[in-house]
Each structure stands twice: as C-alpha cells, then as structure tokens.
Chains A and B, each alone.
Chain A
Amino acid sequence: MERPIKFINNKKESLFGMFYIPDQQTASAKTGILISVDSIKPRIGTCRLHTIIARYLMDIGYYVMCFDPSGIGDSEGTFEQKQIYEHYCDIQQGKYLNDSKDALDFFKAEFNLSQILLFGICGGAISMLSLAAQESGISGLILLAIPVLFDGPENNTNQDEQVSKISSEVQSKMIISDYVQKLFGLETWKKILSFKINWILELKTVMKAVKIFIIKSTQKLFRPLISKKKLNLEKVPVSVNPKYNMGFQSAFIRSIKQKNQMLFIFAEFDHYTWNFKSEFQDLVLVPGNPFEPFYEITILKKANHIFSSTETQTTLKETLSSWLSRKFPLET
C-alpha cells in the first residue's frame, strides 16, 4: 500500500512524502528504508528511479519512505537561486541533514521499526551517509554513485567542464587508451583531413589525462599503504585532490565505528565511480583493510550515473535483494 504523507520539519515547514507499506506484514521485526532525494529533483528521483525502487522494496517486504526536503519537490520552503554546482556543494556539505533527520524520526515513530536503513543516489548518498554518521540506531546504508569530490564552478564552456571532470587514474587511462586506438582508426584520419576535429578540445583532454595519469601513478609509487595506525582517517584526508570532500571520509569512518553495514553501488559509465576508486578506494579500502566486514562495493556493467536502463534497473534490484537478504533478512 502507498500512502501520501505530510510532516512538519524543525523549521515548521510542511514536507511531503510517500510511505510504501508492504502488504504482507508477517515479519516479526519491521525493517524500514528511508530514501533521500538525489539532488534538487523531487522525491520520485531522476527517471522515476526512487519510485521504482521503493515499490520493489515494498514488494519484497520492506517499509519505505521517500520525502522532499524543504524547498524541493512538493515541500514548503524556499529554493535559493544559485548556480547548480553551488547547490551540489551545499548538498555534499549537509544541506539536507536536518530535514532527513526529521523524516527519519517521523518514519520511526509511524511504524515502530526495529531496523532502519538509509538509501541515496549521488547527492542523496552523501546526505544519507552524513546522517548515519551522526545518528545512532541506523543499521545499514545503500549508497549509489556517491560523490567524493566537490563539483567545481563551471568554466566558460561545456567543453572545459568535460575536461575538468577528468580526475582519476582509471579515467585517464581509459581516455589515453581510447585516443591511441582512435589514432589507428580510419574515421579519425578522415575527420582530421576534413578539419572536423576540435583540436583545442582534443589537446586539452589528452594533456589533462596524461597529467592526471602521471600524478596518480607517482602518488601510488611513493605513498605508503594507508593504515589505521598511521593516519587518523576521521580527521586527515587520504586524498590530495583539492576538491576532495573530507566530509565523506569522516562520515564513512564514523559510520564504520557504529558498525553500519554499507553497500556501495556504482555505474560503469560514471566518472564518480573512478573518482571513488582513485581518491578513496585505492588508498583506504585496499585488500585486507580493517573495514572489510562492513562494506561491499558493486559496479553495475553498462550502467550510467542515473541507472536509467531497464537492464540496469533489473540488475540493481537483484543486487539490492541479494544484499538485503544476507544482511537484513526479514524474519517471520
């Protein structure tokens, strides 16, 4: 059953949401999953993904709540006029934290849940991780395409924006390999000879990729393996990238300390995947690290940042179902 809801936040604003209540309420313990908005779009999610996932989770027996924070979707509140990347940075720094806490309290009070998991995509993922880090009583996290770098100000052209997104070793290797392959392709030479190549963009892209590759490879050679004993991961960033969001790292560590189970899901065709890998996973989540019992990482093949295709969503549902049945099975 789906029930539209309204509740009041800490600023006395009405926030809108939806409860997804499983029909088969045979489980002795109720497990709830709170879904955050992904960015500045409403609670149904990009391409309606949140609604699709919420309905699926409800069908397999979990209580689900989606909601719009203040100023978003149907909820009251003002939406401040800003550059989009500024909104993203605000979200990554905890803009939705208070409303998410209010939503969590409302959800718990309504159903007397024995376990609560938090679910988010992109900006929603970092919002939920931040919430879990400060709240006791959260059992698990499902985090899709979580950003670890702040979005920067957009440069003058969209082309510069694309170049600026190259930040990880894997990404730069893919780009360099792609260019080398293209050099041996007839189509490329046809474009070159007919002056259809944007030389400035191509050169900027290759040079940035090579630069990043050299920096990251050098860091790997000279940087010692990060160990818990040598670095206070809650306070000292592991990445030297100036755009690195330390808030992500400290929230991760605090969530680990609270023994939250985490499922990271990434998309193959998403630079956020490779940012996570190069700025955090390769530096902290190395084989044998002490956090291994608390997280799993899955990369969905052929998926994009918004997990939009039917095939991807089928795989996503299977991944969720498998992880939930292992970590948070519904007891009857």
Chain B
Amino acid sequence: METPFFLKNSRSNRIFAILHSADSQDDSFRKKTALIYCHPLFEEHQLSHRISVNFARYLTAYGCSVFRFNYFGDGESDGLFEDASIKSRVEDIQSAITEVQRRVKPELLFLMGLRTGATLAMLAAQNCQKINGLICWAPILNMGEYIYNLLRENMSTQMTVHKKILFDREKLIEQINQGIFVDVKGYNLGNPLYNQSLEIDFTKHTLNSQVPFLFVQISNMPKVEKHLEEFRQRHNSYDLTIKTVTEQKMWVPQKMVYPSYTELFSATLSWIKEKACL
C-alpha cells in the first residue's frame, strides 16, 4: 500500500511524503525493517525520481517499508528552494525518522540517499541513535566543491543570454555573500545553503557515526574511485562496505531511459538483508 500525505517538520512546515508499506514480511527479513530515502538536490532529484520510486517498490516487495519525502523547499513540500539550507534539510530527515518510527514502528531503520541526498543522510546519521544502517548511492563527499562547480551552470546561462560572461565565479560568490541569489539551472543558489555546504567535506573529516554503512559507486568503472578509497582508509575501523555497479548515472540526462537498475537494486538489497542479521 502506498500512502501520500503531509507531515509537519520541526518548524511546523508541511513536508510531502509517501509511505510504501510492506504488505507482508518476507522470510528474509526476520525483523520489521524500514528505509528512509533522501533525494538529491537541484534537478538531479527530478531526473532520478522514477528510479527511487522503482527501488521503493522493489524493496517493499521483499518486505521492507520505504518512506520517501521532499525536504522543505523541494518538491511538493512547503517553502522555496532558496529558503532551505543544509541544516533545515537535515532537520527534515530527523522529522522523517520520527514519523517513520511513529507510523511503521520498525525494529530496524535504514537511512539512504543518492548524491547530495546521501551527503545529507550522512550528516543526519551523525550522532543519531535511531538508525541501524546508512546507504549512500554515489555520495558527494565534498559538498563545497560540488556547489562551487555548480556555478559553472550560471556562467553557461550568461553565455546563452548575454553572449559573454558578465560575472565570473568569484563575482558570483561575492553576490551570494551579499545575499543575492544566483540562478543555477532554474534553482536559486544562495546563503545559507552555499556557506553551509562549504563546511561539509568528508574527504577530510571523519563521519561521526558507528552504524554500518554502504557506499555504492555508480559508474562504468569497476575500480573504486580514489576519493571513496581514501574515505575507506580513514574509516578503516568502521563497518563500511563499498560496492561498485556498472549502471547508468540516473541523476544526469541520458539518451536511454530508464534501464531496470537490477544490479544496483540487488546489490543494495543484499547488503540490507546482511545487516538485518540474516
């Protein structure tokens, strides 16, 4: 059963959510299990949306309930994109955790995200006792670098409209710091999102969470990318699994839409089952 509804976050804003309830307990899940999915930011959310829905239905069929939601300022939740921050989005994840515990009462709860959604999930998992595992699909470890590179999109737009670059990256950053929003492919990028993003760098910092976690590298390269390998080395005492899957990057426009992502789904499910103490 799939139920769409609004919940109130910690700031009394409406957050849109859909709960995919597992109809029956699959034999492979001995404990009642649920998963919260954190979507990526900007248009990556839209581009990857259907895959997240397919994955939710895939997991539900195996007996794991899935909770999907939009952060404040995204999707059908209240607010404007530019009014949300890293902090507000992490708080929304915490509200989602509370809601899932209230509605589903799972014995095991996993937090999961794609790209910047994975980054937000990592932040929410820190110092959180309520989750039993963390799944990160193609995580962005250096949020500052990611946000900085997005400014290139604005410069491309300037070329289209003005046939030249009026404001280079440094001037755009200056505008952001002056409280002016910078358009990045249809999204207003400003503070506090920009400055809060600069503080997030898991290529240097350690994740403050002892839950088991799974990184899934989604690319056509079987070898684990350098930044993930370095993360593993810095977290060598953690229960960290890195898997690589050869799948299409669903967060960017593709010529062929949509493949079944069988390898990605089954790799993730097998890890969840393993951590659900089978």
Which A residues have a C-beta under 8 Å from some C-beta of B? 2, 4-6, 14, 16, 18, 40-42, 44, 46-49, 51, 71-74, 79, 81-84, 87, 154, 269, 302, 304, 306, 308-310
Give CA–CA (A306, B255) in the complex, Å. Answer: 19
Residue in chain A with minimal CB distance to B57: A76
- B81/A74 in contact, CB under 8 A: no
* Whole-angstrom CA separation of A150 from B141 in the bound complex: 41
Q: Is the interface of A mostly helix, strand, loop or mixed?
A: mixed
The reply to whether A74 and B181 contact each other, CB–CB distance below 8 Å, is: no
User: Please, how many angstroms separate the alpha-carbon atoms of A82 and B255 in the complex?
Assistant: 8
Q: Which listed residue (A4, A40, A48, A302) contacts B257, Cβ 8 A? A: A40
State the total of A-B contacts with C-beta under 8 angstroms: 83
B238 at the interface (CB under 8 A from A): no
Residue of B nearest to A307 (CB): B186
B157 / chain A contacts, CB cutoff of 8 Å = 304
| CB pair A73 B53 closer than 8 Å | yes
B6, A82: Cβ atoms closer than 8 Å: no
- B contacts, CB < 8 Å to A: 2, 4-6, 14, 16, 18, 43, 46-47, 49-50, 53, 74-76, 81, 157, 160-161, 181, 183, 185-188, 253-260
Partner of A18 from the list B46, B76, B183, B258 (CB cut-off 8 Å) is B76
- Asked if B4 and A42 sit within 8 Å, CB to CB, the answer is no
Other-chain residue from A40, A42, A46, A73 in contact with B186 (beta carbon distance below 8 A): A46
CB pair A84 B160 closer than 8 Å? no
- Distance in Å from the Cβ of B148 to the closest Cβ of chain A? 21
What is the bound-complex CA distance between A100 and B112, given in angstroms?
33
Given that A14-B2, A16-B4, A74-B4 are known contacts, is A47 also in contact with B186, CB under 8 Å in the complex? yes
16 cross-chain CB contacts under 8 A: A4-B16, A5-B4, A6-B2, A16-B2, A16-B4, A44-B75, A46-B186, A47-B46, A74-B53, A84-B253, A84-B256, A84-B257, A269-B160, A308-B183, A309-B183, A310-B183
Return chain A residues, CB-CB under 8 Å to B74: 48
B49: chain A residues at CB < 8 Å are 41-42, 73
Question: Given contacts A16-B4, A42-B49, A47-B186, is CB(A81)–CB(B76) below 8 Å?
Answer: no
CB nearest neighbor in A for B183: A309
Q: Is the CB of A42 within 8 A of B50?
A: yes
Kindly report which residue of chain B lies nearest to residue A17, judged by CB atoms.
Answer: B4
- Give CA–CA (A233, B14) in the complex, Å: 49
With both chains docked as a complex, state the minimum distance between the C-beta of A293 and any C-beta of chain B, in angstroms. Answer: 35
CA distance A28 to B150 in the complex (A): 48
Contact A73 B256 (CB under 8 A): no
Q: Is the CB of A306 within 8 A of B75?
A: no
CB distance from B126 to the nearest CB of A (A): 29
Beta-carbon nearest neighbor of A313 in chain B: B186
CA distance A73 to B68 in the complex (A): 12
CB contact between A47 and one of B181, B185, B255 (< 8 Å): that residue: B185
Does A47 lie within 8 Å of B43, measured CB to CB? Answer: yes
Which one of B81, B253, B258 has the greatest number of beta carbons of chain A within 10 Å?
A: B258
Given A4-B16, A82-B256, does the pair A73, B50 have CB atoms closer than 8 Å? Answer: yes
